[in-house]
Amino acid sequence: MVDSTDSDPARCRHCGETLEERPQRRVVSSIEDGQVVHRQFCADDCLEAWSE
C-alpha cells in the first residue's frame, strides 16, 4: 500500500486533514506501475476537487 504507513496517521490527499474518525472518508484505489495505490479523502468535496 502506498500513501501511508502504520506510524503516520492517514491524511486527506487533497486538503491534508487527518482521516481519523471521518464518517465520509473516501478511498480511491488504482494500479500504477504494478502496485496498488490507495488515495484517501476526508469527504466527497475533497475527492471531487482533487479529481478535477
| pLDDT tens-digit map of 3-52 | 545 567 889 999 999 988 888 899 999 999 999 999 999 999 999 999 87
Instruction: Please tell me whether the overall predicted TM-score, pTM, comes out greater than 0.95 for this model.
Output: no
**42: exposed, middle or buried (Cβ count in 10 Å: 0-12, 13-18, 19+):** buried
CA 31 – CA 45 distance, rounded (Å): 23
Spatial contact of 40 and 3, defined as CB atoms under 8 Å apart: yes
CB 41 within 8 A of CB 25: yes
